[in-house]
Amino acid sequence: MYIPQIFKETRQDVLHDLIRQYPFATLITQNNAGLDAMHLPIELLVDDEQNVTLVAHIAKNNPLHTQIDSGAEVLVIFQGQQGYISPNWYPSKQQHHQHVPTWNYQVVHVKGKIYFSQDEKVLRGILARLTRTHEAKQDKSWKMSDAPSEYIAEELRHIVAVEIQVSEMVGQFKMSQNRDPIDAVGVIEGLEQQGKMELAQTVKRSTQSN
């Protein structure tokens, strides 16, 4: 991925935060038939030695775990906030009109080796963590124990665990850092007028820290 230095993000805590906030990712693989991509929720785990692992699960009928070998290199892409930026939002446009439309966005690219498992204990651990993470946002949290144990056991027989041992992680956070302060303010105001408050706040934090 080409990343201009001004947009490059390598701080691991920042990258981890984006992955946790936007866990629905694109997994890109290559097999004998060529490139393939699939989309699935992924959880990030960091151990005491700061080793990073991504975990997920797929349907057993999904041919992924038969098309590539465990240990194959894969790419996972996480996308955060994004939005169109109009040149009309730049006050300096009125002076020289030398601006064009652009797009602000946050992405994290993760490279690593993929491994598959059908071990019941591994699968239960992945599902339990995924459930705890996302059910925590509900008024009343659902737990695996809410369903009959026989039903859960049967469901586990139809999925495969996915684990990606991360070797590289880099982000590109393009949030108007390359604009003059007055034009960055114009972007923030333009986004706010469109109701994109979260993106506007991210632009504000990014441009005020530079």
pLDDT tens for each residue of 133-145: 999 989 999 988 8
pLDDT at 33 (0 to 100): 84
Task: State mean pLDDT over 31-55.
Answer: 93
C-alpha torsion sign, points 170, 176, 177, 179: positive
The type of residue at 56 is A
Contact 128, 84 (CB under 8 A): no
Residue 155 belongs to what H/E stretch? helix 149-156
pLDDT at 94 (0 to 100): 75
Q: Is the pLDDT of residue 93 over 80?
A: no
Q: Is the pLDDT of residue 174 over 90?
A: yes
Q: Which of 53, 42, 52, 45 is nearest to 77 (CA)?
A: 42
> 130 Cβ partners below 8 Å, 6+ apart?
41, 43
> 61 Cβ partners below 8 Å, 6+ apart?
158
Q: Work out the pLDDT band at 164, boundaries 50, 70, 90.
A: very high
Q: Is the pLDDT of residue 210 over 60?
A: no
The ranges assigned to domains in the chain are 5-86+99-177
Q: Is the pLDDT of residue 205 over 60?
A: yes
Topology adopted by domain 5-86+99-177: Pnp Oxidase; Chain A (2.30.110)
> 4 Cβ partners below 8 Å, 6+ apart?
178
CB atoms within 10 A of CB 31: 14
Quote the strand ranges of 42-135, DSSP E: 43-46, 52-59, 72-85, 102-117
pLDDT at 127 (0 to 100): 93
Please name every residue paired with 8 in a beta bridge, in sequence order, or none if there are none. 172
pLDDT at 199 (0 to 100): 97
pLDDT at 209 (0 to 100): 62
DSSP 5: G
pLDDT at 48 (0 to 100): 84
Top pLDDT among 1 and 162 is at 162
User: What pLDDT, in 10s, does the model give residues 109-131?
Assistant: 999 999 999 999 999 999 999 99
Distance CA 208, CA 37 (A): 37
User: What pLDDT, in 10s, does the model give residues 22-38?
Assistant: 999 999 999 988 999 99
Q: Work out the pLDDT band at 1, boundaries 50, 70, 90.
A: confident
What is the CB-side half-sphere exposure of residue 128 using CA atoms within 13 A?
Answer: 7
